[in-house]
Chain A
Amino acid sequence: MCKHTVLELSVNNHPGVMSHICGLFARRAYNVEGIACMPVNGGKRSTIWLLVDADSRLDQMIKQVDKLEDVLGVERHDHGHEVISKMAEFVQ
């Protein structure tokens, strides 16, 4: 079984952002296992949490995500993040 990690992205909030991020993973055949997104700062920005496999391509993925104009920051949580773990309780 693959080890999972959580990426926490700070992004601009507009209708195209999610397609930029999901498209980046999709066209590299890299599955996003879980995803959560909430607006912050009154809606100008959002935080996105992505649950992804921590495989050998992850460093390259993070660099590619970081290059996106609408991505303001990327944090990696190798021990998981409670947004994802709490969300998991709803889908057990």
Chain B
Amino acid sequence: MRLSGAEIIIKLLERQGIDTIAGIPGGANLPMYDALGKSESIRHILTRHEQGAGFIAQGMARVSGKPAVFFATSGPGATNTLTAIADAKLDSIPIICITGQVPLSMIGTDAFQEVDTYGLSVPITKHNFLVRSVEDLLWIIPAAFRIAASGRPGPVVIDVPKDVQAAFHEFETWPEPGEREPSEGLIPAEIRRAASMINSAKKPVLYLGGGVIQSDSADEALALAEKASIPSVVTLMGLGVIPTDNPLCLGMLGMHAARYTNMVLEECDLLVAVGVRFDDRATGKVPEFCPNAKVIHMDIDPSELDKIKRSTASVTGDVAEILTALIPLIDENARASWISRVQTLKKEHPMLIADADDPTSAYGVVLKAAELAGEQAIVCTDVGQHQMRTAQVYPFKHPRQWLTSGGLGTMGFGMPASIGAALAAPDRPVICFSGDGSIMMNIQDLATAMEYDIPIKIILTNNNALGLVRQQQDLFYGKRYFASDYSRSVDFIKIAEGFGIKAHDLGTSEDPAETLKIALSEPGPSLIHVPLSPDDPVYPMVPPGAANSEMIGGEKHV
């Protein structure tokens, strides 16, 4: 067969099972778009900004666990993708960004819409390619899928010059699709050592992160916790690994954890860290994190071991394989005294949820929406107070139910990611909690949700401020609220309606719970506006750089 580079790309993506690609065309990727237009199995979602396309791909990849693809043109198209790619790198999300580039002969001439996409993407990708000939596409595209999905997943960029897209190549057979490679074998001695440390620990805690979700091993993590009665904390990325109503679940640890969660960690004698990277938002001041504990660290990425905290024992490998090998070696153990101590701490230092019963309050709207949306709902957030509140109180039940920008903390993540989630899981409700600061950073893709009638439900808590910034100014900068309050407010109801999205205002509703119910059950996209006071803090809070034991707020009787 004789095909152009652009046709080869689209055919290879079809062979990888890709059915949806978000992106924006431009001069340098028009051959790819021309070929995509002829595809019968791939749907294109035209976004209004390439960053939105990147987060749509992330939403698809986070829900499905499989690599998702998005397209951008050269120059500004490519630079607009960078935040979404960096975000995927920090949260280990497999996405593949295919960019157009000026023709090979013009690279390096400062041609129109030329930018060094390869150079720009080196530090924020797992790997990247500049395709130099049409025949290379036959190995580069499958390689990109293999790399994105194997080991610790991550983003891959493929930059394709326009003349490579247009060039023809004659070949006989298609390459096999790129797949996740089997991980390297475990070292049995590492497993045995970990098992014996767990068996002899008096006060162990499981510390579960996004790696458990990436390896689809939430069931195994729960089995380990239950077999040996090990209380379990999760990271922001690990929410959903242990159902929040399980008695062993202690919720999220770290900066915005419940007081008892961080206090249990203060007392533990063994920290079993699984698929986590000891992020500073989780650990607080590292030397004071779990001060009495030995540490077992299990991770697929050897460079995470001993990176931040030296472990007593480490296990390198796929977390699913590690847990499967480990569980038979673990003694059943009721651990009555430790469990009872944890329960005492939980009782004495509970998570206090202000106005939990009021659906127009900051926490109440999260709880009411959760109740109305049901257990199958996918929950996306933007970044800010609404994100931390959702992480604190949403009753998560399943892995891949929770999509948030953890490592990079990207405002603007939530709304396009929720579009991606809805595309990947059209039968499930998708809720996006956003804030007035965050939604502005990708508000243009409300048009995308409208155009394709994607039924995302955006719950916009509006305090007319950059809430977390303002909270830090309140606590650590003498209440000097500089550049964190918006001096005039925006009418989000009109904005949503202007984008062709249904809008509801809980602030003026006579029956807010009913309004929320209507909004969540109606077809198509909706925006639910919830006005809040900028003075509502997210508590507890560990000051940045402080030990987790130095929590502010959230004390009982205060």
Contact = CB atoms under 8 A, between A and B. Distances in A.
Contact of A60 (B123, B126, B147, B307): B307
B303 A27 contact: no
Interface stretch (A30-38, A42-50, A62-70, A81-89): A62-70
Given A16-B118, A60-B307, A69-B147, A23 B302 contact: no
B interface residue count range (under 10 / 10 to 19 / 20 to 34 / 35 or more)? 10 to 19
Contacts of B306: 59-60
A16 B122 contact: yes
Contacts of B130: 15-16
Interface residues of chain A: helix, strand, loop or mixed (majority): helix
Contacts of B127: 68-70
B182 interface: no
A4 interface: no
A69 B126 contact: yes
Nearest to A70: B127
A15 B303 CA distance: 26
Interface string A11-35: 0000110011001000100000000
Interface in A50-92: 59-60, 63-64, 66-70
A68 to B, nearest CB: 8
Contacts of A68: 127
B215 to A, nearest CB: 18
A67 B126 CA distance: 9
A67 B128 contact: no
Nearest to A20: B122
A63 B122 contact: no
A2 to B, nearest CB: 21
A67 B122 CA distance: 13
Contacts of A60: 303, 306-307
Interface string B119-151: 100110011101000000000000000010000
A16 B301 contact: no
Given A23-B122, A23-B123, A16 B128 contact: yes
A27 B118 CA distance: 16
Given A16-B128, A27-B123, A67 B118 contact: no
Instruction: Please name the 9 residue pairs, one residue from A and one from B, whose CB atoms are nearest each other, closest first.
Output: A63-B303, A69-B127, A23-B122, A64-B303, A63-B302, A27-B123, A19-B122, A20-B122, A23-B123
Interface of B: 118-119, 122-123, 126-128, 130, 147, 301-303, 306-307
11 contacts: A16-B122, A19-B119, A19-B122, A23-B122, A23-B123, A27-B123, A60-B303, A60-B306, A66-B303, A69-B126, A70-B127
Interface of A: 15-16, 19-20, 23, 27, 59-60, 63-64, 66-70
